[in-house]
Amino acid sequence: MHAESWRTSYAGILPAEVVASESANKSEEGWHRRLARSGGANAVFAAEADGQLVGFASCGPGRDPLGPLEGEIYALYLLQEFQRRGLGRALLAECARHFVRQGVFGFYLWVLTANRARLFYEAVGGEPVAEKDETLGGHAFGEIAYAWRDLTLLVTQTGTASFRA
């Protein structure tokens, strides 16, 4: 699911060889490491629909200091056929609730500037706060950070998926 959602998210945005290479890195072994780190300040939430895993979000302490924003969503992915059903909003809300439980009241996430997911983050209240350039597989690309400083609306939303922490 992770590899497939990565492939469809970045096809046409990043060079095909980078998409293929990075998709191959979304392995079961990598998930064992990610899940071993979850707990406490770090959390991973999985979205299920129609009895299958269709998406996930991973969040925890911010890796790039952005002022008072203490939390970061490291990844939020959904299978393409399950997008536009409220599941992304539900995953975002679940991360916001996690942050509030941790005493964190502002968070951010990074997204490629060419990624159409930016429209979703803007629609759910994300505010652009920073930009940076990165490289992946020897190819340069731009990223933009979206921030949420008031988590009230996010934490009160109900989702349409079941979650597992």
Please state the φ and ψ torsions of residue 6, each to the nearest 5 degrees: -65, -45
* pLDDT tens track for 68-125: 999 999 999 898 888 888 899 999 999 999 999 999 989 999 999 998 899 999 999 9
Return the DSSP state at 39.
Answer: B
* pLDDT tens track for 20-46: 666 555 556 666 666 666 667 899 998
The boundaries of the domain holding residue 47 are: 2-164
CA dihedral 109, 113, 117, 120 (to 10 degrees): 70
**For residue 118, what is the domain's CATH number?**
3.40.630.30
pTM, entire model:
0.83
Measured CA angle at 94 (ends 90, 99), to 5 deg: 145
Number of domains observed in the structure of the chain:
1
Q: How far apart are CA 30 and CA 15, in angstroms?
A: 23
